[in-house]
Structure 1
Amino acid sequence: MTYDLIVVGSGSVGAAASFYAAKAGLKVLAIDSGHPPHDIGSHHGSTRIIRHAYGEGSDYVPLVLRAQALWDELARESQTEIFHRAGVLNLAPDGAGFIANAVASTQKYALPCQVLSAAEVRAKWPGVAAPDGWVGVYEPQAGYLLSENAVGAYVQLAEKAGCTQLFGQPATGIKHAAELVEVVTADGQRHRGRKVLISAGTWVKKLLPFLPVNPVRKIFSWHRAEGGYREEEGFPAFVVQLPDKTQYYGFPAIANELKVGRHDAGQPIETHEQRLPFGEFAEDSTEVSGFLRGILPGVGASLRGAACTYDMSPDEDFIVDTLPENRNVMFISGLSGHGFKFASALGEAAACFAAGKEFGVDLSRFRMSRFAVKMRP
């Protein structure tokens, strides 16, 4: 069989692409080395923040707004809990680039956000010890996604729409032909497609070794949090940048457990085996302790933790492009730890690519041409 689209890597972006392409009537094959949703990539750990006033730059806002609409649509279509409109608090010292970008995003796109002084932040959320001279941008329409629910919903809907799913079978190579592309799997089979999406996450360089993507081991942990930190008490998800530019994120407490992590830092790795479990590095247990003492002093000791992986690009912006030698092969990579919220829209973009249609959001910012890298299959 010849497929209209073969998706290599059916995590967040790949699962979304499989569904939207199959829903459009295309013949789709989804390949994954595991059985998504799973914990061997970057989509596990229950929750992911989705924010609209984007501290990484206002260019992201149209994409995240499209993603939000698609997440809401997914929840309705799958009858699955996907999104919690818990609000998001962005917090940093006045003048920090992160908070300046968030304010600029709010102004440029007329987002329904509130710009708050440190005193206003403390008054609204007494559990947040915002230092004087800091600024908060509160997004009441933002919140967090249930990541594993979302991937699972896309996988199920894609199958119902007719997508063929080959799970537990890693892709080992891409063979280029004049009009078709062959994807080779570990069992030796060759699968032919008119278009191919490579969304293989952390280990994408096994297929595209020229990509400037580096895997990093990351951790997150759950901490005891009682009184004032629960979603039902109005506590939001949050992203906080400290004066030294370290950045932390977290979620309102569920059952008195608040999840928190550090966005920067981490341990560079080269293989999945090097992604050691939480607690294997001495610094795992203390990575967020100073942040909690200073900004969330009411949050207690670590209860448990987990490890995941970021696929980091050099500038921490996404990489979305096609191979110059074969424009029928698209790759979406380098999501750099902030990509899940965009997965629905990036998946839709890949489905448009497969169908030969224009995607409604400009993705030119993410092309490979910004890097001095020689691309080759």
Structure 2
Amino acid sequence: MTGTKGPKVAVVGGGTMGLATAWALARRGAQVELFERHGHIHTHGGHSGHTRVIRHAYHEGSDYVGLVSRADEEWARLGARVSEQLLVRCGLLEFGPGDDPAFAAALAALREHEIRHELIDAATARARYGFEVPSSWPACLSPDSGYLRVSPCLTALRDEAQAHGATLRYQARVRELALGGDRPRLLLDDGTCVAADRIVVSAGAGSGDLLGPTLDRAHTFERLQVLRRVLAWTRPAEHLRPHMRSLPVWAAFVPEGFFYGFPDNDEGISGFKLACHSSNDPALAYMYEPVDPERVDRTVHDLDLQPLRAFLARYRPDAGEIAATVTCLYTNTRTEDFWIDHHPSDSRVVIATGFSGHGFKFAPVVGLAVADLTLEGHSDLALERFGYS
């Protein structure tokens, strides 16, 4: 089946959500043309790092839980169709002080939505998984969670989109949106002007610059900010590798901040992967200062690694020294909710951005939601909290 009779939809951005949108639209019969300024899978945006957590208890808001369950189903179906393991269900271990608000919210979501989980004490967590969990802290294992394999996931979305007729144009940078008139248009760097019946803007870190001239610029940049983060991999001693490979994905709600990581499963880079999502150290306040995605510092400095080394020394001293690093860009709204809505000046344009930090797992359901908005004008999958205001 190819989309030859539906409306022409131009998708700006070929990262995670742009590909998912092209995938969903093409499967609905739209004529899809996607424009990506880089290549397929790159290190300039938010999908670098080879693996992404999929978890079902959502401390960011329990109304996300239904969406992640739907996304889980879509990933499983997609993996079956392409005969590739996209989702590795190795479980998710969470631990922290019992009175941590985010940890408590995650546990409450597990109970509210009857998600399978096991509450364990600190001694059990230490014995099973090797984390130095203080004796007064609870821990929780969610066995159906795990991680998504970035490259196979994005390649599967790309290949199915193309199989349903989508045209994907790489190394094609969109410079400007031209709204109004009979049809909205895109102006490319090479001077090409592309008209379409509908446009979807899902350009990740580049969304702010592209949308700013067509919206209240101050409001756009207050709402949408690009942050720099660092991912790291350690090199465990060889005799510990079997144990490190058997670990679940983990999330630590500790006094120092929120840290997370992955087992050592040779997914792109060999090693025990970890990252600092948020820090309570005033010396690391720069983590929350917006960066220019065109000029971001991609060199990893000693200060970037300090919170990771401190976490390892306190909670995972057997993980070994940091051996590899990469920078990643978060494109966040001020609430860290997604931004999925019609453009306020032209309803033929749909905005889909602000997914970084926790969005990758939702990609198929975001694609479905954006396709609904684009083709039908509304979607039950686009929560009210995702709106522009």
What TM-score does the superposition give when structure 1 sets the normalisation length? 0.91
Distance in 1 between the 2:92 and 2:240 partners? 15
Shift of 1:59: 1.6
Structure 1 distance, partners of 2:241, 2:354, is 32
Output the CA distance in 1 between the equivalents of 2:45 and 2:293.
12
Partner of 2:290: 268
Structure 2: distance between partners of 1:154 and 1:248: 29
Counterpart CA distance in 2 for 1:336 and 1:50 is 14
1:158, CA displacement in angstroms?
A: 1.1
Aligned counterparts, 1:122-161, within 5 A: 122-125=126-129, 127-161=130-164
1:252 maps to 263
150-159 or 28-37, larger mean C-alpha shift: 150-159
- How many equivalent residue pairs? 365
Partner of 1:216: 227
- Report if aligned partners of 2:339, 2:388 keep a CA contact under 8 Å in 1: yes
Deviation of 1:135 after TM superposition, in Å, equals: 2.1
Match of 2:385 in 1: 365
Q: Is the 8 A contact 1:122 1:128 kept in 2?
A: yes
Q: Does residue 196 in structure 1 map to residue 199 in structure 2?
A: yes
For the 8 Å contact 2:46–2:356, the answer to whether it is kept is no
In the other structure, the counterpart of 2:282 is: none
CA positional deviation for 1:328 = 1.5
Q: 1:70-119: per-residue Cα shift (whole Å, max 9, x none)?
A: 11112112223311111111212101111111111111211111222222
What's the counterpart of residue 112 of structure 1? Answer: 116
C-alpha distance in structure 2 between counterparts of 1:344 and 1:78, whole Å:
15
Please, what is the CA RMSD of the aligned residues? 2.1
Residue type matched to 1:300 in 2? G
Alignment check: 8 A CA contact 1:275 1:308 kept: no
Q: Secondary structure at the match of 2:197?
A: strand
- Between 179-188 and 137-146, the greater mean CA deviation after superposition: 179-188
1:34 paired with 2:38, answer yes
* TM superposition score normalised by structure 2: 0.88
Task: Find the aligned partners of 2:153 and 2:208 in 1 and give their Cα distance.
Answer: 26
| Aligned residue runs from structure 1 range 284-363, under 5 A | 284-356=304-376, 358-363=378-383
Structure 1: distance between partners of 2:290 and 2:241: 33
One-letter amino acid of the counterpart of residue 339, structure 1: G
Compute the displacement of 1:60 (Å): 1.1
Structure 1 unaligned segments of length 5 or more: list them.
370-377
Cα distance in 2 for residues equivalent to 1:263 and 1:12: 19
Give the match for residue 174 of structure 1: 177
Q: Percent identity, please.
A: 28
* Equivalent residue number for residue 71 of structure 1: 75
Q: Which amino acid aligns with 2:262?
A: F
SS, match of residue 77 in structure 1: helix
Q: Deviations over 1:254-288 (max 9, x none)?
A: 2561011111253631133323233xx23133330
Quote how far apart the aligned CAs of 1:66 are. Answer: 1.0
Give the aligned residue type for 1:328.
R
Q: Distance in 2 between matches of 1:193 and 1:350?
A: 16
Q: CA deviation at 1:238?
A: 0.8
